[in-house]
Amino acid sequence: MTDWARYRIRHRTAYRYGADVLVSQHLLYLTPRTTPHQQCIESRIVISPVPGARPAPRTDLFGNVAHHFDLDVPHDRFAVTASSLVAVAQPNWPEPSATPAWDDLPDRFEEARAADDHLLDTYRQRIEPLSLANGLHNFAMPSFPAGQPVLAGALDLTRRIFRDFAYDPEATTVTTPLATVLRTRRGVCQDFARVMIAALRTLGLAAGYVSGYLVTEPPEGQARLVGADQSHAWVRLHIPGFGWVDLDPTNGVLTGNGHITVAWGRGFRDVVPVKGVITGGGEHELKVEVDVIPEAEIPASADATPAGQAA
């Protein structure tokens, strides 16, 4: 019998602008997916200022739930709060040593594309210059000797990134080049996922980017801090005959029931939680707060509805 853990998630993104934004368009990826090991039971998005038209959910190319809306009233502040209830079970990943050899997979993708995922070619595309691709290939190869089972190799690469790269939020931004991350071996979860995905693709493998949350526990005897959790990112690898398997290079593990999936795509730009185009605004301040709370810990007052428009 499968055990499901239930979590309440609150993700608030708030911008404060130096001057009025005259008009803006936004796209949100904040609704958790439903997968074989995750159920999205409830999801609600509240937007301030309230859009003139209620944003309707749509499904994108990768099966993610997205919300698009326009704001056509001047505003110097903008906030989106997403609240969800999810149930998550421990994934039943294959035994790494039982997966097929990585160097046999390119010959099997034609069959896998027809039977499993017509987007596999998209997840195998390489966009790095040749010099960087060579560096990524050389970085990956110690984990993938000839005949190595693909998941065993990917898990070894996951652990190497965990061991050899330093988690440093000050080292990178969303615009830091991948070559810099590979050279300095410093960054955050988004950077480590980018490195691993690009390295796997130099081997002809299909790999994608996952955005979501990681359940964190406060130190024993201490209360959970409101707003202290963060968005997280990890990697998904396609194995013909098994399907997609998720690995977390920031923590050196296969994902478990503490990983909550929101969206996936080729890379970070496909699944940015809150993105948009604005006219005006000048300089801005950004504040992001994330809470992932086991349902048993939620006080009765936590059900209050914030002001704004729900989607």
Query: pLDDT tens digits for 146-178?
Result: 999 999 999 999 999 999 999 999 999 989 999
**For the residues 250-264, what does the mean pLDDT come to?**
95
Residue 204, pLDDT above cutoff 50: yes
Cβ-based neighbour number of residue 144 at 10 Å: 23
| Same fold yes or no, 4-89+271-310 and 96-255 | no
> Mind spelling out the 3-state secondary structure of 15-67?
EEEEEEEEEEEEEECCCCCCECCEEEEEEEEEEECCCCCCCCEEECCCCCEEE
Which comes out higher in pLDDT, residue 257 or 220?
257
According to the model, what pLDDT value does residue 227 have?
Answer: 56
Show the tokens assigned to 229.
């959790």
According to the model, what pLDDT value does residue 31 have?
Answer: 97
% of the chain residues with pLDDT over 70? 89
**For the residues 106-123, what does the mean pLDDT come to?**
73
**For the residues 60-88, what does the mean pLDDT come to?**
95
Q: How far is CA 295 from the centre of its chain?
A: 22
According to the model, what pLDDT value does residue 145 have?
Answer: 97
Domain ranges within the chain, ordered by starting residue: 4-89+271-310, 96-255
According to the model, what pLDDT value does residue 203 have?
Answer: 95
Torsion of CA 26, 31, 33, 37, to 10 degrees: 150
% of the chain residues with pLDDT over 90? 73
How far CA 73 is from CA of 27, 55, 57, 78, 291, in Å, comes to 17, 16, 22, 11, 30
CATH topology for 4-89+271-310 is Immunoglobulin-like (2.60.40)
**For the residues 293-299, what does the mean pLDDT come to?**
69
d(CA 165, CA 120): 28
d(CA 67, CA 81): 13
According to the model, what pLDDT value does residue 238 have?
Answer: 93
**For the residues 53-80, what does the mean pLDDT come to?**
93
Query: The whole model's pTM is what?
Result: 0.90
CATH of 96-255, one of 3.10.620.30, 3.40.50.2300, 3.30.70.360, 1.10.10.1100: 3.10.620.30
Residue whose C-alpha is closest to residue 185's, from 249, 125, 232, 245: 249
Cβ-based neighbour number of residue 203 at 10 Å: 22
Average predicted confidence (pLDDT) for the chain: 89
Q: DSSP class of residue 146? A: T
